[in-house]
Amino acid sequence: MGELIRRHLTVGLIGALLIYLFWLSRPDWTAEMRFWRAVGDGSLILLYLTLALGPVARFLPRAGVLLPYRRELGIWFGVFAIVHTIIILDGWVLWDFSIFMGYQYIPAIDRVVRLESGFGMANILGLLAVLIALPLMATSADWATRALGAGSWKFLHYAAYSIFYMVVLHTAYFLYIHFTTSYHRTVPEPNWFQLPFAVLTAMVVMLQAGAFLKTVARQRRGLSQRRAGAGIRDTEPGI
């Protein structure tokens, strides 16, 4: 139990430090936007670390000592993602579903109109990612593995990859699309996180793909060795 608490404290402090650094990096933003973006970006980095640790350990065996932290990284990603979601719902969309979907009342024309066509879909993706993360957070423990069985537990936690792509699309919309010349308010300066986000996302995808290919190659080598040991030729028989 002491080791578990230590890992949680370590990851929680890392997440808080990330949020603080993101907060410091945007001094010209309004306090509200500055806070919810910092929390969201901090949770994003924790998600990337969660998904990158396994593949990194495949290529760098010494990194395997960090694998026990994956559960805590995933849990704290979920905690900060929930906080980010609550801040958005309470401070930006005001718990109004029409605003959540991108509709706003414009006094000049006395109508409710949809101003940003992708805003609602991006919000839906983000909310779905948080909802899917909830059962993963609840079952990120040894007792859940024993109760569900290793196979069922792994099947459930494969949803982490769905969460990854939902979060990537959600974040990409607000980094590259929402605050453009079509935005109905003053367009803010480009977010400095645009390039790091693209690089980090590509790195996670490449690490996952590389680990998959390495696993396939290892399994094929193992199969070939077993076939050779059994005296079975790999070539197809002639006609």
The position carrying tokens 């933003």 is 29
Per-residue pLDDT of 36-52, as tens digits, reads: 999 999 999 999 999 99
Contact 95, 71 (CB under 8 A): no
Per-residue pLDDT of 144-181, as tens digits, reads: 999 999 999 999 999 999 999 999 999 999 999 887 65
Contact 148, 101 (CB under 8 A): no
SS (H, E, C) 18-65: HHHHHHHCCCCCCHHHHHHHHHHHHHHHHHHHHHHHHHHHHHCHHHHH
Residue 103 backbone phi and psi in degrees, to 5: -95, 140
DSSP state at residue 149: -
Segment among 35-44, 49-58, 214-223 with least mean pLDDT:
214-223
pTM of the model: 0.88
Contact 49, 73 (CB under 8 A): yes
28-32, 39-43, 184-188: range with highest mean pLDDT = 39-43
Residue 88, token pair as written in the block:
């958005």
Amino acid, single-letter form, for residue 74: G
